[in-house]
Amino acid sequence: MRTASHLHRLPLLAAAMISLPIIASAQEACTTYTVKAGDTLGSIAQTAYGTFDYQMIFNANRDALAANPNSLPAGLQLILPCEDGRLTPDQPLSSVIEAETQKQAATAKKSNVYEPPLKFVTSNNWAPFTDESLPGGGIFVRMAATAMQRGGNDRDYTVAYVDDWMSHIDTLLPSGAFDVSIAWESPDCSKLDMLGEFSARMCTDFDFSLPIYEAAYTFNTLPDSKYANARSFADYAGAKICRPEAWPLGDLEVQGLTPPVVEYVAPKNPIDCANMLMKGEVDIYSIETETSVANFKELGVTDKVVTNPALTTFISYHFLTSKSNPRGRVYIAMLNRGITEMRESGEWYDILATGLAEYNKMTQ
């Protein structure tokens, strides 16, 4: 579900780096850090935050890391955000959101031409990204709502939650019942011959916005698993790999991990994969790191699983329209204008960091 990349400069991040007077000699939150030979994102995160979950470091250094997050050159300077996501101790969360919202209110001009509201559809149970119980409906829903009011946009919209992801692409978008789904992975369509049927269909039948998020997908096993020490994707041959239904497989398919080389198990919910791993019913649970960390925490088994430090894939998420929708590309262009402005102003990072901080408070 839900790999294209499009890099934008983030003036906010550059300003933050300039404002930090001291480059930390050790990995410490709320500083910048100069990479040393042998460092990995996982080892830096473990020292700075006490966890191998390095998604926050990637989020704050997206431009610098997007090309090759698995190989850090010595001398690279990385922002290590504060534990609550702030880029610097003196920059409160939501400050950019508030400034951009005020700016929009002061300059917005409503068109006299009526346009029907854009109809978004998403699903519950994908915290912190999409869920009705979360502030603003989740981080990705907040990004969609903000994009509709940035980049010169002033279009009204609605958001519905339909808790069957496959129905979005099988019926709801092609039929025109909804215009845009939040949010899906775009496979590497330049390698169409290596993709499975589902991934290939995503390339041929749908259009994607610019990326709204790049998620680190990790590979989790039990400590005594023969796959725990894998150092190449080929080492996973013969494994039973769990990813929930409608989650992407394209990142693994382009590595040659297709049946019968591996067997995929696809339950409805991510937590089911975590349970299956603990029961020994699957060898590997691979999903975005925020979800796996939350699942293992919920089950109380964080200390009973290991995350492969050498193998990671990065999957980008996008807003999605059906090519059968005659105005689908118009909607994508509209959203892209908003995404671009959010990236350039730093509001994208502020929405992400604020949403993660709010979610962490809810789950403590």
pLDDT at 98: 94
**pLDDT digits (tens), the chain, 364 positions:** 432 322 222 333 333 322 333 334 467 889 999 999 988 888 899 899 988 778 889 999 988 887 777 788 999 999 999 988 998 888 889 999 999 999 988 887 666 677 899 999 999 988 889 999 999 999 999 999 999 999 999 889 999 999 999 999 999 999 999 999 999 999 999 999 999 999 999 999 999 999 999 988 999 999 999 999 999 999 999 999 999 988 889 999 999 999 999 999 999 899 999 999 999 999 999 998 888 988 999 999 999 999 997 888 989 999 999 999 999 999 999 999 999 999 999 999 999 999 989 988 887 7
Largest CA distance in the chain: 65
Residues 6+ apart with CB under 8 A from 106: none
Domain spanning 11-80 has what CATH number?
3.10.350.10
Structural domain boundaries in the chain:
11-80, 115-213+317-363, 214-315
Question: In the prediction, which pLDDT does 105 show?
Answer: 85
Looking at residue 363, its pLDDT comes to 78
The per-residue DSSP string of 95-133 comes to HHHHHHHHHHHHH----SS--PPEEEEE-SSBTTTB-TT
Q: Strand 240-242 and strand 284-288: pairing? A: parallel
Q: Find out whether the peptide bond into 183 is cis, omega within 30 degrees of 0.
A: yes
CATH number of 214-315: 3.40.190.10
For residue 295 the two structure tokens come to 């699942």
Say what the pLDDT of residue 13 is: 32
Q: Is 356 helix (H, G, I), strand (E, B) or coil?
A: helix
Please state which CATH number belongs to domain 115-213+317-363: 3.40.190.10
214-315 and 115-213+317-363 share a CATH fold: yes
